[in-house]
Amino acid sequence: MGTPAARLTLSALNEMSREAFTETLGGIFEHSPWVAEGAYESRPFGTVKELHEAMMRTTREAGEEHILSLLRAHPDLATRLQVTPLSAAEQKGAGLDRLTPEEFAVLTDLNVRYTEKYLFPFILAVRGKNKDDIIASISKRVNGTKETEWERAIAEIGKITKFRLEDLFGTNDGLRET
């Protein structure tokens, strides 16, 4: 994403080639540039909200295998494994880089239990949340049903990617470009 966030506009995005469009938006959905590539066909976008809706539609229509690969591309929260810069910043903002050893052990255990049960990692839009909110959420959701968590994970990806697009376009008013 070589263009500074404040200078990327929808008109510039709408004029991009498929390759440039995919490169620019390829990291919005974690390690899944196919989402941006699929949304390309819906150009031109009049609002950032329309862009996000096209990307979410691409995701939902991709089929179970592609969606599962997208879910599995997300890192465990508070993991010590390599994460993308966007994920690292989001987790740091929620205080997940400052867990006590005990909190880290609890979150690690819950992540393992969650992933074993649902076959994908716990996904939560952490912006505006703190480590206690996150631990409470995974503690509750680890006891849910597979169908409910599948839908919840996709909805959380929708929130995460909405925040990322708002950051990229310099908007924060419900995905309306100013």
Which residues 6+ apart lie within 8 Å of 101 measured at CB?
Answer: none
Beta strands in 9-113 (DSSP E): none
Residue 74 annotated to the active site: yes
Is residue 50 within 8 A of residue 87, CB to CB? The reply is: no
Amino acid at 18: R
Point out the catalytic residue in the list 31, 52, 66, 74. 74
d(CA 156, CA 122): 10
| Chain-centroid distance, C-alpha 54 | 15
Whether residue 41 contacts residue 51, with contact meaning beta carbons closer than 8 Å, is answered with no
Neighbour count for residue 56 (Cβ, 10 Å): 19
Cβ pair 1, 27 in contact under 8 A = yes
DSSP 43: P
**Dihedral pair phi/psi, residue 148, rounded to 5°:** -65, -45
Which sequence positions are flagged as catalytic?
74
